[in-house]
Chain A
């Protein structure tokens, strides 16, 4: 049972345009959501997070939107840069369970110059 789903295995965008990565979840106990970026043969790097009490969080070029009623979140990258090309993982936590994270399978973003 996959509780966090990233239905797009890959996404390709032009440099300077917006990248939108999507994530859906099924567990209504999740109260915190995170996005990680991963380059090949490296560990994931934390990007941005959002609590379930908010619907938007912004950090520079990165914005995460949360729609609790739809159990959906998205990561917007504006403007996209070639260095953003990586695999992006969505993760969720129910907090009280030792702050464990449940990850999606990831979306490979390619930003073309």
Chain B
């Protein structure tokens, strides 16, 4: 069976500090991978998606970037965090040509 991991689970970072969130998927190959953010009181906003190694598409121009160094690894980064980057970050995966996405447990990021 497939499993998706995210870490860390929670993170408190000062404004201006860097960020690295990691997501890995087990039990499948060549998944489509997605990063979402849920800000307080809001829905799920798609940030980035990737259909293969090194292939990243950005949905919303902002202070964040994503990379996919390995087939089942997806990383969300920032060089300098802003207060507005606070939120709940979710990674999701799906197989190609499949609509249903499966989510990881999420990372709660608080920028202070």
Contacts and interface: CB of A to CB of B under 8 A. Distances in A.
- Do A and B pair up? The answer is yes
Interface stretch (A11-19, A55-63, A66-74, A103-111): A103-111
B32 A98 contact: yes
Contacts, number: 59
Given A100-B49, A106-B43, A34 B100 contact: yes
B105 A99 contact: no
Interface in A62-104: 89, 91, 93, 95, 98-104
Nearest to B100: A46
Contact of B106 (A36, A43, A100, A101): A43
Contacts of A32: 99
Interface stretch (B68-76, B79-87, B90-98): B90-98
Interface residues of A, number: 24
A49 interface: yes
Interface of A: 6, 32, 34, 36, 41-46, 49, 89, 91, 93, 95, 98-106
A91 B105 CA distance: 19
Interface of B: 32, 34, 36, 42-46, 49, 51, 57, 59, 88, 90, 92, 94, 96-106, 108
Nearest to A2: B43
Contact of A100 (B46, B90, B103, B108): B46
Given A41-B108, A98-B51, A103 B43 contact: yes
Nearest to B51: A98
B105 A95 contact: no
A103 B101 CA distance: 12
A101 B105 contact: no
Contacts of B44: 44, 89, 91, 101, 103
Contacts of B46: 100-102
- Which 6 pairs across A and B sit closest by C-beta, in order of nearness? A43-B103, A105-B43, A103-B44, A32-B99, A103-B43, A44-B103
Given A46-B102, A93-B99, 16 more contacts: A34-B100, A41-B88, A42-B106, A43-B92, A44-B90, A46-B101, A49-B99, A95-B99, A98-B32, A98-B51, A99-B32, A99-B101, A100-B46, A103-B43, A103-B45, A106-B43
